[in-house]
Chains A and B, each alone.
Chain A
Amino acid sequence: MSNVTLTIDGIKVAVPRGTTVLDAATKAGIFIPTLCHDPNLEKYGACRICVVEIKGMRNLPASCCTDAAEGMEVYTKSEAVIEARKTILELLLANHPRDCLTCEKNGNCRLQDYCFYYGVKESSFNGIRKNHPIDDSNPYIIRDHNKCILCGRCIRTCAQVKERSIIDFAYRGFNTKVATAMDMPLAESECVYCGRCVAVCPVGALMFKPLKGKGRAFEIEKRPVTCTFCENGCTFDLNVKDGKVIGVTPREPGEGRPLCLKGRLGLELKYCDEPPKPMLKKNGEFVQVPWAEALEIKDLINKIIELD
């Protein structure tokens, strides 16, 4: 593939044709904020926080879905860009709860990171605020729609798994919301709680229930481990606080497949100092089950005992 050379903030960068301006900037060590962009997902260009100024272009294009072209002149920190980003943040804040004080995502939240970075303390927009109930219907994932910024990453990562795609945008305009079919609670949907959506959420809209109240990002050290339950080799993070493993969270799915619940439960059993009791849905209700059942190894254990 042929290369193109462009200039970003005065730095010359050569990248293969077809590379986005965002990727070119990253290559040059130039930071551009992103919310909806995810290198593992298809290009989206919804949140606009990654806008840049490109000489000769109308408006400010989103760098995550603009292809780099030969001779392009890009400015990532121009006055117009900064102003646009600040306005985007203010618009997001206009409808975002101010509860970093007790938010589980405090310290690992992109909205917070960028507000700090750009010094956006308040929103100058006053309007209606969402007041969705928190979906706490299942033992694994808490969904707080009030914190959702509609970046759509959860939807796209869920859709990557064959036969899943259990969430999508629902409703219109201000009422837009990420929902399951018929906007049912997660517990009543086809969700298998693999946690991919939680892993990619840039804010506090999706959280792991077993970790609620157990510590914030800056108190937790993440140690990656590879799951060995199947051949896919997904990576998970052991969450360590004060020397204790307090939980296991998905980091990245293995090629092709997907961070299953069974794998995560198995790792919790293996590594956690006090593993949470496994819960499985039976007849539409979550009930506590023995480990052997949750990991589907009851037969194996019986056979091992028999043989020994």
Chain B
Amino acid sequence: MADITLTIDGKQVTVPQGSTVLEAAQKADIFIPTFCHDPELSRYGACRMCVVEIPGMRNLPASCVTEARDGMEVYTESPAVIEARKTILELLLANHPLDCLTCPKNGDCRLQDYCYYYGVGDTPFEGEHHEYEVEEENPFIVRDMNKCILCGKCVRACAEIQGRGVIDFAYRGVNTKVATIMDVPLSESECLFCGNCVAVCPVGALQEKGLRSQARTWEVEKVKTTCSYCGCGCNFDLNVKDNKVVGVTSCDGDVNGRALCVKGRFGYGFIHHPDRLTKPLIKKDGEFVEAEWDEALSLVAGKMGETKKEYGADSLSVLSSARCTNEENYLLQKFTRAVLGTNNIDHCARL
């Protein structure tokens, strides 16, 4: 494809034909704020936050849906642009709860980021305020439609990533709202709680229930890892606070991008479940008794050794695990073959 060159804030940028002005600016490391834009979703141009000034064009076009052209001159921080963005923020604030104080998304909210950045602390617009009931009866996702800015990312993620289209815009005008069919709660809809809508929500309208009640956005450390459920091999970030896994959030996975399923995103609770085994157990007179590692390991080593001596190495069998790591499977077969002296090793590959 042919390349074109344009000038953004005085910087020359060369991009492939068909790129948007926003993409060109990003390539030139020029920041343009966005709400409704997402590189993985269809181009939308609804929020207008990304407007820029392009001499010769009528009005301020949204950079996320304007194609870059050869020789174009773009200004991303002109007074008209800044004014437009501030007005957009003020309009959004006119109908947004000012409860950052306790909002679980505080610190990871684009509306807040941009208000801070542009110094918009208040709104001159007074109007109707919605008082939707916060939906939290399912164990996975909290939906607070009072905080929704109608960017439509969740709608598109559900349709375009998850391919389900469980939610869409409903009602009209100021009453417009993202809703399920017949505006029933998610738990009564076809929703499978993959949470991919939560992953794209730029504000506090959609939250991971467990994660957001336990930690604020800046309190967690994120550790990228690979899911331990099915064989897809999705990557995600474990969110850790005080040495506890408090949640899972999307990262850019090799296989999955940001998409996850309900198990991957919300199925981490077993890690800290009280049923976890925390000490070796030895059965004495039919009852398990807690033991120290030394005692347990010597007992196992002794019994394995005795059995081998008495009945031969092939009287021992080992089941390895499709759930454990490669390193552990490797070591266990090495142990079986080199130490126990048998090839009696298998795992539940067939289930």
Interface residues of A (CB under 8 A from B): 93, 98-102, 106-107, 112, 115-116, 119-121, 213, 216-218
Task: Classify the secondary structure of A's interface with B.
Answer: loop
Nearest residue, chain B, Cβ from A98? B98
Contacts of A217 in B (CB 8 A): 218
| Contact indicator B107/A216 (Cβ below 8 Å) | yes
- Identify B107's interface contact among A98, A107, A119, CB under 8 A: A107
Nearest residue, chain A, Cβ from B112? A101
| Contact indicator B218/A98 (Cβ below 8 Å) | no
- Identify B100's interface contact among A93, A100, A120, A213, CB under 8 A: A100
Contacts of B101 in A (CB 8 A): 93, 98, 100, 112, 115-116, 121
Least Cβ–Cβ distance between B130 and chain A, in angstroms: 17
Given known contacts A101-B115, A213-B119, A218 and B100 CB-to-CB distance under 8 angstroms? no
| Contact indicator A216/B216 (Cβ below 8 Å) | no
Q: Cβ of B99 < 8 Å from any Cβ of A?
A: yes
| Contact indicator B218/A218 (Cβ below 8 Å) | yes
Q: How many A-B residue pairs have CB under 8 A?
A: 55
Least Cβ–Cβ distance between B118 and chain A, in angstroms: 9
Least Cβ–Cβ distance between B117 and chain A, in angstroms: 8
| Contact indicator A218/B121 (Cβ below 8 Å) | no
CA–CA, A23 and B73, complex, Å: 63
| Contact indicator A99/B119 (Cβ below 8 Å) | no
Nearest residue, chain A, Cβ from B117? A213
Nearest residue, chain A, Cβ from B96? A101
A-facing residues in B6-61 (Cβ within 8 Å): none
24 sample A-B contacts, Cβ–Cβ < 8 Å, listed by A number: A98-B98, A98-B99, A98-B101, A99-B121, A99-B122, A100-B106, A101-B98, A101-B116, A102-B112, A102-B116, A102-B120, A106-B112, A106-B116, A107-B216, A112-B106, A116-B101, A116-B102, A119-B102, A121-B102, A213-B116, A213-B119, A216-B116, A218-B107, A218-B217
Contacts of A218 in B (CB 8 A): 107, 217-218
- Identify A107's interface contact among B102, B106, B115, B120, CB under 8 A: B106
| Contact indicator B106/A102 (Cβ below 8 Å) | no
Given known contacts A102-B116, A107-B106, A116 and B99 CB-to-CB distance under 8 angstroms? no
Contacts of A115 in B (CB 8 A): 101-102
Nearest residue, chain B, Cβ from A213? B119
Chain B interface residue bracket vs A: 10 to 19
Contacts of A107 in B (CB 8 A): 106-107, 216, 218
Contacts of B218 in A (CB 8 A): 107, 217-218
| Contact indicator B121/A102 (Cβ below 8 Å) | yes
Least Cβ–Cβ distance between B102 and chain A, in angstroms: 5
Chain B positions 89 through 114: 1 when the CB is less than 8 Å from some CB of chain A, otherwise 0: 00001000011111000110000100
Given known contacts A100-B101, A121-B99, A116 and B216 CB-to-CB distance under 8 angstroms? yes
Least Cβ–Cβ distance between A167 and chain B, in angstroms: 26
Least Cβ–Cβ distance between A51 and chain B, in angstroms: 21
Q: Please name 18 further chain A to chain B contacts, defined as beta carbons within 8 Å, in addition to the given A106-B100, A106-B106, sorted by A numbering.
A: A93-B101, A99-B121, A99-B122, A100-B98, A100-B100, A101-B93, A101-B100, A102-B115, A102-B116, A102-B121, A106-B107, A107-B216, A107-B218, A112-B106, A115-B102, A116-B101, A121-B101, A218-B107
Contacts of A102 in B (CB 8 A): 112, 115-116, 119-121
Least Cβ–Cβ distance between A111 and chain B, in angstroms: 8
Nearest residue, chain A, Cβ from B111? A101
Determine which residue in A101, A107, A116 has the highest number of CB atoms from chain B within 10 A of its CB, and name it. Answer: A101
Given known contacts A107-B218, A217-B218, A218-B218, A99 and B98 CB-to-CB distance under 8 angstroms? yes
CA–CA, A93 and B107, complex, Å: 20
CA–CA, A120 and B102, complex, Å: 7
| Contact indicator A101/B121 (Cβ below 8 Å) | yes
CA–CA, A204 and B115, complex, Å: 17
The 5 closest A-B pairs by CB, nearest first: A218-B218, A100-B100, A102-B121, A218-B107, A121-B102
Nearest residue, chain A, Cβ from B122? A99
CA–CA, A218 and B122, complex, Å: 22
Least Cβ–Cβ distance between A218 and chain B, in angstroms: 3
Least Cβ–Cβ distance between B247 and chain A, in angstroms: 16
Least Cβ–Cβ distance between A119 and chain B, in angstroms: 7
Least Cβ–Cβ distance between B219 and chain A, in angstroms: 9
Contacts of A98 in B (CB 8 A): 98-99, 101
Chain B positions 194 through 226: 1 when the CB is less than 8 Å from some CB of chain A, otherwise 0: 000000000000000000000011100000000
Contacts of B112 in A (CB 8 A): 101-102, 106
Contacts of B93 in A (CB 8 A): 101
CA–CA, A106 and B218, complex, Å: 11
Determine which residue in A93, A99, A102, A120 has the highest number of CB atoms from chain B within 10 A of its CB, and name it. Answer: A102
Determine which residue in A112, A116, A121 has the highest number of CB atoms from chain B within 10 A of its CB, and name it. Answer: A116
CA–CA, A157 and B303, complex, Å: 67
Nearest residue, chain B, Cβ from A120? B102
Nearest residue, chain B, Cβ from A218? B218
Contacts of B99 in A (CB 8 A): 98, 121
CA–CA, A115 and B101, complex, Å: 7
Least Cβ–Cβ distance between A212 and chain B, in angstroms: 10
Contacts of B216 in A (CB 8 A): 107, 116
Least Cβ–Cβ distance between A236 and chain B, in angstroms: 22
